[in-house]
Amino acid sequence: MEEKHKSRLMTEYRRVLENKPIHVLDIPDEYRYMDAELVELIEKSVGAILGLE
């Protein structure tokens, strides 16, 4: 998700999302579904957020 996606979500679902953490991974939408490089980027980013690294 990029900042523009977060903004769209907040515009549409502000009441549902307020007071909930939303993490922007800044991974551009240029990968194909289940691309190995994409999966690796997501695993690293999410692992860091969860404190697994």
CA 13 distance to own-chain centroid: 16
pTM of the model: 0.65
Question: DSSP letters along 1-52, please?
Answer: --HHHHHHHHHHHHHHHTTS--------S-S-TT-HHHHHHHHHHHHHHHT-
Q: What pLDDT shows up at residue 33? A: 94
Q: Could you tell me the end-to-end alpha-carbon distance of the chain, in angstroms, rounded to an integer?
A: 20
Residue position matching structure tokens 């240029």 = 30
DSSP class of 53: -
pLDDT tens, 23-45?
A: 999 888 899 999 999 999 999 89
